[in-house]
Amino acid sequence: MTEEVQQQTIFSFNFDDKSKEHIKSIGQWAVYNAILSFIALGISIFQFMMASSEVYNSPAFTMGIKANNGLTLFFQVVFSVLLNVYLYNTSVKLKKGIDAMDSRTLTKGFGLLRTYYKIYGILLIIVLIICSLGLVYLYSMRGAGF
């Protein structure tokens, strides 16, 4: 019984107005980030569609984008939608938790934010490794006389 009371007092946080403002700001910027990422994704899809059409298949218009990058676009869309929906849900939990002063919802929101950054970091490391391997391949081809 005393352990339960002690845990409640240890994890009971009282947020002052400045702390609440900062947490709301985090949630607000998470929403902005998610919305702008969806807009950028829409632009990427539009650019892919224009590059793959016959009318706009000139090198000047596509700026080096090839129409056969459909698989890349598919993975970009899948990962982007999943991450941005996750980020949006995170911001909703943070806002609800701070507005209602509900520690469970706020903790859930911070947990979602932590998971979002873990996933994003892992994906970034994977992309950097792939790009590095691509550069090594290109330099090896250059040395082979190509």
- Side-chain half-sphere exposure of 90, counting CA atoms within 13 A: 25
Is residue 39 exposed (0-12), middle (13-18) or buried (19+ Cβ within 10 Å)? exposed
Confirm whether pTM is higher than 0.75: no
Any idea what DSSP says for residue 64? Answer: T
Q: Is pLDDT above 60 for 10?
A: no
Question: What pLDDT score does 137 carry?
Answer: 87
pLDDT digits (tens, 9 = 90+) for 69-128: 677 778 888 888 898 899 899 999 988 888 888 888 888 988 999 999 999 899 999 999
pLDDT (tens digit, 9 = 90+) per residue, 48-72?
Answer: 777 666 555 555 555 545 545 677 7
pLDDT of residue 121: 93
> pLDDT grade, residue 5 (50/70/90)?
very low
Given the structure tokens 């190509």, which residue do they identify?
146
Write the single-letter amino acid at 50: M
Quick one: which of 14, 10, 73, 67 has its CA closest to 41? Answer: 73
What is the torsion angle, in degrees rounded to the nearest 10, for the CA atoms of residue 130, residue 131, residue 137 and residue 139?
-160
Do 92 and 106 touch, CB atoms closer than 8 A?
Answer: no
Higher pLDDT, 40 or 146: 40
Domain boundaries, given as residue ranges, for the chain: 16-143
